[in-house]
Amino acid sequence: MKTSLLLAAALATVSASAASAGTIVFTGNTSGGPLWNRPVQGNPPTPPASTVGTAVNYRFHQFAVDANGAYSFQTTATGGWDNYTFLYANAFNPLTPFANIIVGNDDNPFIGVSGFTTNLTAGTTYFLVVTGFDNGNAGAYSAEIRGPGNIAAVPEPESWALMIAGFAAAGGALRIRRSRIAYA
């Protein structure tokens, strides 16, 4: 029973991170992030990979939608760096940058803003990848997704482990507190 309560609490936490009205905003910073040889824009992008973005920093965000339809993506770089945005379905592996790729965009409509509109399917896990144009481009960003359904961030497995460990620690603290009260 305690396990089911912990799982219910974890799911409620994840559900609370979902944005209502079909909008979610991710923020982050690619500076100091892992490196990859990014693709070039396209719908979908096709090989070869970039010759100027061969070791460029990136960050990604996992999310899912609960309704099929067209969703718009707009990523804005903070501080004047030249950003790039890519979307992957089901999995993202920087070592195989063309596997599962859906779309990528550089300037929309100008340097520092990238985005696109594409159809998404309910129940699929998507990966929004924010990166730079060339190896020197990195910095803070804001990425907004809008569409017909609710959009929910999907925690990485490490986040689930931390949440479950936190709930277990809280449960242990309650157990210790109850035993002290009973004997006091």
Confidence of residue 76 (pLDDT cuts 50, 70, 90): very high
The Cβ of residue 80 has, within 10 Å, a number of other Cβ atoms equal to: 9
The mean per-residue pLDDT over the stretch 141-154 comes to: 97
Looking at residue 1, its pLDDT comes to 42
The mean per-residue pLDDT over the stretch 121-136 comes to: 97
Looking at residue 157, its pLDDT comes to 57
Cβ contacts of residue 97 below 8 Å, gap of 6+? Answer: 36, 37, 38, 39, 49
What's the pTM value of the predicted model, to 2 decimals? 0.76
Cα angle 156, 132, 102 (rounded to 5 degrees) comes to 60
Q: Does the pLDDT of residue 174 top 70, yes or no?
A: no
Looking at residue 49, its pLDDT comes to 96
More confident residue, 168 or 118: 118
Confidence of residue 54 (pLDDT cuts 50, 70, 90): very high
Looking at residue 85, its pLDDT comes to 98
The mean per-residue pLDDT over the stretch 17-24 comes to: 64
Q: Which tokens in the block code for residue 5?
A: 């309560």
Kind and range of the H or E element at 165? helix 157-183
Looking at residue 155, its pLDDT comes to 85
The mean per-residue pLDDT over the stretch 122-134 comes to: 97
